[in-house]
Amino acid sequence: MSFSELGLSTKVLDAVTSAGYTTPTPIQAQAIPHVMQRRDVLGIAQTGTGKTAAFTLPMITLLEQGRARARMPRTLILEPTRELAAQVEENFIKYGVNNKLSVALLIGGMSFGDQDVKITRGVDVLIATPGRLLDHYERGKLLLTGIEILVIDEADRMLDMGFIPDIERITKLVPFTRQTLFFTATMPAEITRITEQFLHNPVRIEASRPATAATTITQRLVASHGKDFEKRETLRRLITEAVDFNTAIVFANRKTEVANLHRSLLRHNFKAVALHGDLDQRARMAALDAFKTGDANILVASDVAARGLDIPDVSHVFNYDVPFHADDYVHRIGRTGRAGRLGAAFSIVTRHDEKMVAAIEKLIGQTIAWEGPKLSELPPSTASADDGDRPSSRGARGRESGRDRGRERSRAPSPERAERAAPADRAAQEPRPRKRAGRTDAVQAASFVPEEMPRPMPTAKPARQPRREAEDDDRPVKGLGEHMPAFLMTSVRKSPVK
């Protein structure tokens, strides 16, 4: 099958050739002809399958007929996060190089004013996160009655992030006769329900079976004691000893853990960046850019922040925490071993994780081998009982129930919620994150290798290991440690007793 058989316009085919694509991916081959025939599509596909082009290419072709009117966008694409929205915009720019399309992005962290100007001029493609779209709508600047095509992307993630009520509202604001293209990586019951509500006689296309791990990925379990400093030591050992290391994603279950782990890796001079929901837009983009350009070779991320992003293939995935949901394990390790390449996925397992590991093994239909000793063979922990004897990062709260997880997610200032709560332009005015010299030296040094000199083999090893005990953040600090407040050290003069 070639792209020319899919019914795309010559301009779009030329852009596809310029992008260097020769063969449509399975989801493109199956979906594009139906989109061109104006059918509704239910695409069950993960990132990495080429699903974005599966809707952008036919949309650009269809948009060649007709033109945009002021305040009435012709098509609407809903994305759960700002990064994904920006990524889809890049796709429209890439595949629409030969078309004069007007594309607008409605996401938080950008000024309402600039976005209003674009909408007022008229746009062919509006790409938005649900909250920001509704904000614009409520300000009376936007009419959704001209929408011909509605794309709901990453629907299962929208569900995770609590956006389904917003989506339901938006679908009532667009014409009933619009064409709907709906993409999701998994089909939980709630998603099945809304597909029945939103889609009219859709063509169902499944790009690859969800929850299938690529066979090119070597998966290993690594036993560790459960305290944070012990898990971090295990992680550093794994990274340092990794064979054929190129780039890695380290997954942690919580945003706070992502931030702490990132700081810890920087302190140990690893070239790491972090991606989690509490970072402002600029910091998130900067982190992704650094990882994509090679300035950093380790990305520490949470599931919510990383899912769906087009992050280049990585050589290693490290699960600092075993994911609460077995599905997330498959998504995580799917970041490596793409397109037939070899990849490795290591999961740090403590005695609190055994049930979750069993659920993962059940889902993927295979037993994962141990690297080194099994949990039962692990030598006793060197940590003393008062070193904060709480079970690792998940703590006594241990395995959260799905409800707790949902609650944390809904409580968490997700990028979208944060953007709705905060004054619109605040994020845009955030100062650029400053480089902290001591911590980024390793990153900078690595990027100044003169071209003529033979480049060292890529390595994850830190440039140097800090030796000062006080700087080793990972050991539990007793009392106030070295951080005795000055006022406690001042001598006190006794007043004479009368």
**Residue numbers at the binding site for ligand AMP (CB under 6 A):** 21, 23-25, 28, 47-53, 310
Rounded to a whole number of angstroms, the minimum distance from the CB of residue 50 to ligand AMP is: 3
For residues 42 and 144, which CB has a smaller minimum distance to ligand AMP in the complex? 42
Rounded to a whole number of angstroms, the minimum distance from the CB of residue 16 to ligand AMP is: 7
Rounded to a whole number of angstroms, the minimum distance from the CB of residue 310 to ligand AMP is: 4
Rounded to a whole number of angstroms, the minimum distance from the CB of residue 338 to ligand AMP is: 9
Rounded to a whole number of angstroms, the minimum distance from the CB of residue 46 to ligand AMP is: 7
Q: Which residue is nearest to ligand AMP (CB)?
A: 52
What are the structure tokens assigned to 44, written together?
């069950």
Rounded to a whole number of angstroms, the minimum distance from the CB of residue 88 to ligand AMP is: 9
Rounded to a whole number of angstroms, the minimum distance from the CB of residue 89 to ligand AMP is: 13
For residues 80 and 146, which CB has a smaller minimum distance to ligand AMP in the complex? 80
Instruction: State how far the Cα of 86 lies from the Cα of 94, in Å rounded to an integer.
Output: 12
Q: Which residues of 30-52 are buried (b: 16+ CB within 10 A; e: fewer)?
A: bbbbbbbeebbbbbbbbbbbbbb
For residues 25 and 30, which CB has a smaller minimum distance to ligand AMP in the complex? 25
Could you write out the three-class secondary structure of the chain?
A: CCHHHCCCCHHHHHHHHHHCCCCCCHHHHHHHHHHHCCCCEEEECCCCCCHHHHHHHHHHHHHCCCCCECCECCEEEECCCHHHHHHHHHHHHHHCCCCCCCEEEECCCCCHHHHHHHHHHCCCEEEECHHHHHHHHHCCCCCCCCCCEEEECCHHHHHHCCCHHHHHHHHHHCCCCCEEEEEECCCCHHHHHHHHHHCCCCEEEECCCCCCCCCCEEEEEEECCCCHHHHHHHHHHHHHHCCCCCCEEEECCCHHHHHHHHHHHHHCCCCEEEECCCCCHHHHHHHHHHHHHCCCCEEEECHHHHCCCCCCCECEEEECCCCCCHHHHHHHHCCECHHHCCEEEEEEECHHHHHHHHHHHHHHCCCCEECCCCHHHCCCCCCCCCCCCCCCCCCCCCCCCHHHHHHHHHHCCCHHHHHHHCCCCHHHHCCCCCCCHHHHHHHHHHCCCCCCCCCCCCCCCCCCCCCCHHHCCCCCCCCCCCCCCHHHHCCCCCCCCC
For residues 29 and 239, which CB has a smaller minimum distance to ligand AMP in the complex? 29
Q: Which amino acid is at 217?
A: I
Helix 164-173 and helix 130-138: axis angle, to 10°? 50
For residues 52 and 281, which CB has a smaller minimum distance to ligand AMP in the complex? 52
For residues 45 and 191, which CB has a smaller minimum distance to ligand AMP in the complex? 45
Rounded to a whole number of angstroms, the minimum distance from the CB of residue 91 to ligand AMP is: 7
For residues 231 and 335, which CB has a smaller minimum distance to ligand AMP in the complex? 335
Rounded to a whole number of angstroms, the minimum distance from the CB of residue 331 to ligand AMP is: 13
Within 8 A by CB and 6+ apart from 431, the residues are none
For residues 105 and 442, which CB has a smaller minimum distance to ligand AMP in the complex? 105
For residues 226 and 343, which CB has a smaller minimum distance to ligand AMP in the complex? 343
Rounded to a whole number of angstroms, the minimum distance from the CB of residue 92 to ligand AMP is: 12
For residues 95 and 324, which CB has a smaller minimum distance to ligand AMP in the complex? 95
For residues 51 and 157, which CB has a smaller minimum distance to ligand AMP in the complex? 51
Instruction: State how far the Cα of 462 lies from the Cα of 470, in Å rounded to an integer.
Output: 18
Rounded to a whole number of angstroms, the minimum distance from the CB of residue 51 to ligand AMP is: 5
For residues 52 and 102, which CB has a smaller minimum distance to ligand AMP in the complex? 52
- Least Cα distance to 54 among 207, 202, 210, 212 occurs for 207
Rounded to a whole number of angstroms, the minimum distance from the CB of residue 152 to ligand AMP is: 15
For residues 52 and 302, which CB has a smaller minimum distance to ligand AMP in the complex? 52
Radius of gyration (C-alpha) of the chain in whole angstroms: 25
Rounded to a whole number of angstroms, the minimum distance from the CB of residue 179 to ligand AMP is: 19
Instruction: State how far the Cα of 115 lies from the Cα of 105, in Å rounded to an integer.
Output: 7
